[in-house]
Structure 1
Amino acid sequence: MNLGFVESRTFDEIALGDTARAEHVFTGDDALAFASISGFQAVLDQGELARRAGGEALTGPNMWCASLVSGLFSMQLPGPGVTLTGICLAFHNRIHVGDRVFVSVEVTGRDEATRQIDFACEAHDERGAQIFTGTAKVLAPVEKQRWSTLPVPHVIVNNSYRRYQELIARATARPAVRTAVAWPCDAVSLSAALEAAKDDLIVPVLVGAETEIRRVAHELSTAMEESLSRTEIIEAADSRAAAAKAVELARAGAVGMLMKGSLHTDELMGAVIAKESGLRAGRRISHIFALDVPMYPKTLFVTDAAINIQPDLETKVSILQNAIDAMLRLGVREPKVAILSAVESVNPAIPSTLEAAALCKMAERGQIRGAIVDGPLAFDNAISSDAARIKHIASPVAGDVDLLMVPNLEAGNILFKQLQYLAGALAAGVVVGAKVPIVLTSRADGELARMASCALGVLLA
């Protein structure tokens, strides 16, 4: 093989006993990519993935291994120009996510008249367990063919429910949290609350205009009307009254969580931050997003993109500590935090770089606890270790960041919406730093995002 090219072997160049081998680690994304093409629905059961977390690995489709055999024929032996005319495989053991699979083929026969080549095929895992054995027949090319070995296109499996299934599974393992839902007077917010109740995430207390809530349920479905018949409703004349009543229930300990319905965010948060009747708990209240970004290998948290518009340094200390505390409670050990700005060097003309440097020093001296903090970092340096290396930035955070702290609400709002609408991210959001978690979703969010946000809130309640 020449560098950058793969060249086929003709029939005359292939002898009995010639072999080709390959190995590949079977990943969850491999299973989902196979499912998207073949329709093999079993590997899409993310509930199964969640239930088996820490236990037996999820089994995968054995036919996926057959594609490795095809790859050997097309790229190694005989190589480009081959035609597969027959294959017969017997499967002996199942593969599991995380298994390293070794596949080999060996020439066992040659037919001069038809230029057909017979192969013995075999696959096993790293423990030596045989996955399959069998035979295949191919037609080798008559003339050499040469293909460029450009990188194989990278398949991005955009399954936004993947990481949140584990989150939801953890949340449903706990007792359902009694939750005041403020003004659930449209189809999305009402159905999300009732579905969260159906999945044992919350026990909803609907605070709003009862006639309007019942009208929406009637328009949704008979099942929603039946669910509503088992749900407590507290009358409120309008959305502001609903916000105030929901906060009152939380102050009295009657509910352990709040959930935003179809009212404006400032209406709910106005009641939450009210000095005498609100839910302040000492620190500034802030917001954290947990995003499942298909291109990123783990859950990516962003703060604060919803509450504090232009925070000063003191407010940023609260925002950062709130987020770190929440992530620790969610099981993220010593989260890696990037304090974002436009550049990665301190520049007096860019105030956010000065505040980033101050936050890092405060973390170094123990004024901010529980995380590895670095900044200022530009977005590319935080996300990509290659970008940081090219710019000669030595950082314990670069390329492995858990939490992005944005300089202000505008930057955060733009960032998370770009990740949502251009990168296919699912965003779950919750307000932290108050006496109870507050599930704060956008009116544009669908039921899936609201369910994920409910699960996030339950784990923090």
Structure 2
Amino acid sequence: MNQEYTPAMLENRTYDELAVGDSATLTRTLTKDDIDAFAILSGDVNPAHLDDAYAKETPFQKVIAHGMWGGTLISTVLGTQLPGPGTIYMGQNMRFVRPVSLGDTVAVTLTVKEKKDKNVVVLDCVCTNQNGKNVIVGEAEIMAPTTKVRRPQATLPKMRLQRLERFEKLIALVDKSSALRCAVVYPEELHTLKAVVEAAQAGLLRPVLIGDSARIADTARAAGLDLGACDWHEAGSALEAATVAVDMARAKEVAAIMQGSIPVHTLLHVVLRHAGGLRTTRRVSHAYVADVPSYAQPLIITDAEVNVSPSLEDKRDIVQNAIDLAHLLDIEQPRVAILSAAEAFNSNLDSSTDAAVLCKMHERNDITGGEVDGPMTFDAAIKPEVASRKYPQSTVAGQANVLMVPNLEAANMLVKQLAHFAHADIAGIVMGARVPVILSNPIDNVRTRLASAAMAHLLFHR
């Protein structure tokens, strides 16, 4: 028989019901989510709250910062337990005597000290840590309710904090003692110049701006950007700028190329020309790295920019490029899911046939450095509960960190869905040429622009 759900009840104690000595206790453990949520709600970005290194150096600030969290717990007890609903908080006198650190468990105990006229009550407030040491002591003055309230307790809404921290870890992998000299092709748009300045300030790139210097300077001046860290090379058109950039890369005068105000296909046509280009024996491909808040690891999606409808041989190189990139991101054993609409082999779907052959190539060491499985549906690739049902023997399903998508159209749509629906940060890089190529996007933010520059740095020094 199904038992009917009975919600917890909130019941207050009126002024007349309160007696000196009455008490109530609430215990909570301080988590990173608590600290970040408090900062978001208050708008307080004091590094004593959010920067653990700073907090360790300034313990007094840490007392104040995390003591504020303890103060909210006192308010919680007043509003839900003693006296409960209908309480009006009038004032307090608190001392924050010890720091509250991440992981500490705080017990908040309120005790009725005095009842005054006009329903005013004074309560002793003591917050202790898991070692029994006081962290907050003081008094609260409230106006107690006079009307009895008993009602079902509301269910708290679920909150998920979007942590976008993986790109910071990616950037930390770079040795910033030597910035990468990067040719920036025709950077006449503001978003490209922002990327250039940010990467230079972060010690990732030493930009060489190739284009109309007067127009570039005007754009930077209007936005208040300082291009003092950049070198300059004059070019009268985007095509000329691309040619200059490729020639500089061939001469080893630059170690990377960044797209400016030039279409992707035009830039890549110059990069990949048979005579005087930057081809290697490996097929050139693009990979996006997504920091998805709801996914436990970085996710590489390939190819969404270069290969429109790749052949089987192209796909082999695309997968190998992605595996090599994953190694640079400190993913020791990349797990590659070859995506298809088919859950099992289906000869009517090219994506399914290609997936089966790619797995055989991996088995014969034509693809190395990671685990490869497919054909596999997208949900099974990333969701353990689906993977356990559909692919119980797979070492990739449910925990893939590389998604090989059948064609550019599908990959491009997937990347944009992750960005707009899953609120992911997306950075990208072109691999397989003699130097890495950074593609720019007007919707990129600081994190994604710096992450793309960092990947170029890691690829060049591979």
Q: Is the 8 A contact 2:49 2:66 kept in 1?
A: no
Residue aligning to 2:105: 101
Q: Which amino acid aligns with 1:213?
A: I
Residue aligning to 1:198: 201
Residue aligning to 2:261: 262
- Is 127-136 or 188-197 further displaced after alignment? 127-136
CA distance change for structure 1 residues 320 and 218 in 2, over 3 Å: closer, same or farther? same
Counting only pairs closer than 5 Å after superposition, residues 213-252 of structure 1 correspond to structure 2 as 213-221=216-224, 224=226, 227-228=227-228, 231-252=230-251
| Structure 2: runs of 5+ lacking an equivalent | none
Residue aligning to 2:45: 41
- Is 369-378 or 105-114 further displaced after alignment? 105-114
Q: Secondary structure at the match of 2:46?
A: helix
Q: Choose the corresponding residue for 2:159, options 154, 160, 182.
A: 154
Q: Is the 8 A contact 2:120 2:141 kept in 1?
A: no
CA distance, structure 2, for counterparts of residue 411 and residue 14 of structure 1: 68
Aligned-pair Cα RMSD in Å: 3.7
Residue aligning to 1:10: 13
1:346 deviates by: 3.0
CA distance change for structure 1 residues 129 and 264 in 2, over 3 Å: closer, same or farther? farther
Deviations 1:170-212 (A, max 9, x none): 4363410111111112222233223322332211112223343
CA distance change for structure 1 residues 38 and 354 in 2, over 3 Å: closer, same or farther? same
CA distance, structure 2, for counterparts of residue 68 and residue 382 of structure 1: 41
CA distance, structure 1, for counterparts of residue 12 and residue 201 of structure 2: 61
1:439 deviates by: 0.9
Counting only pairs closer than 5 Å after superposition, residues 111-126 of structure 1 correspond to structure 2 as 111=115, 114=119, 116=121, 118-124=123-129
Q: Is the 8 A contact 1:118 1:137 kept in 2?
A: yes
Q: Which amino acid aligns with 2:70?
A: C
Counting only pairs closer than 5 Å after superposition, residues 284-433 of structure 1 correspond to structure 2 as 284-363=283-362, 366-389=365-388, 393=392, 395-433=394-432
The answer to whether residue 102 in structure 2 is matched with residue 89 in structure 1 is no
Q: Is the 8 A contact 2:73 2:108 kept in 1?
A: no
CA distance, structure 2, for counterparts of residue 317 and residue 16 of structure 1: 75
TM-score, normalised relative to structure 1: 0.83
CA distance, structure 1, for counterparts of residue 426 and residue 399 of structure 2: 19
Deviations 1:45-70 (A, max 9, x none): 98x57x88xx9999664312322333
CA distance change for structure 1 residues 117 and 198 in 2, over 3 Å: closer, same or farther? closer
Q: Is the 8 A contact 2:210 2:234 kept in 1?
A: yes
CA distance, structure 1, for counterparts of residue 90 and residue 288 of structure 2: 52
CA distance change for structure 1 residues 219 and 118 in 2, over 3 Å: closer, same or farther? closer
1:144 deviates by: 4.2
1:430 deviates by: 0.8
1:38 deviates by: 1.4
1:443 deviates by: 4.7
1:251 deviates by: 1.8
1:72 deviates by: 4.2
Q: Is the 8 A contact 1:120 1:134 kept in 2?
A: yes
Q: Secondary structure at the match of 1:68?
A: helix
Q: Which amino acid aligns with 2:38?
A: F
1:395 deviates by: 4.7
Q: Choose the corresponding residue for 2:211, options 208, 213, 219.
A: 208
1:108 deviates by: 4.9
Q: Which amino acid aligns with 1:293?
A: V
Q: Which amino acid aligns with 1:41?
A: V
The answer to whether residue 181 in structure 2 is matched with residue 182 in structure 1 is no
Q: Which amino acid aligns with 2:10?
A: E
CA distance change for structure 1 residues 166 and 132 in 2, over 3 Å: closer, same or farther? farther
CA distance, structure 2, for counterparts of residue 56 and residue 356 of structure 1: 55
Residue aligning to 1:65: 70
Q: Secondary structure at the match of 1:404?
A: strand
Deviations 1:337-358 (A, max 9, x none): 3332234333333322333344
Q: Which amino acid aligns with 2:267?
A: L
Structure with larger Rg: 2
| Structure 1: runs of 5+ lacking an equivalent | none
Q: Secondary structure at the match of 1:185?
A: coil
Deviations 1:75-108 (A, max 9, x none): 5555555544444432233344x42433332545
CA distance, structure 1, for counterparts of residue 325 and residue 429 of structure 2: 10
CA distance, structure 1, for counterparts of residue 299 and residue 121 of structure 2: 53
1:396 deviates by: 4.1
CA distance, structure 1, for counterparts of residue 379 and residue 19 of structure 2: 49
Residue aligning to 2:274: 275
Q: Is the 8 A contact 1:208 1:237 kept in 2?
A: yes
Q: Which amino acid aligns with 1:171?
A: V
TM-score, normalised relative to structure 2: 0.82
CA distance, structure 1, for counterparts of residue 417 and residue 200 of structure 2: 31
Q: Which amino acid aligns with 1:234?
A: H
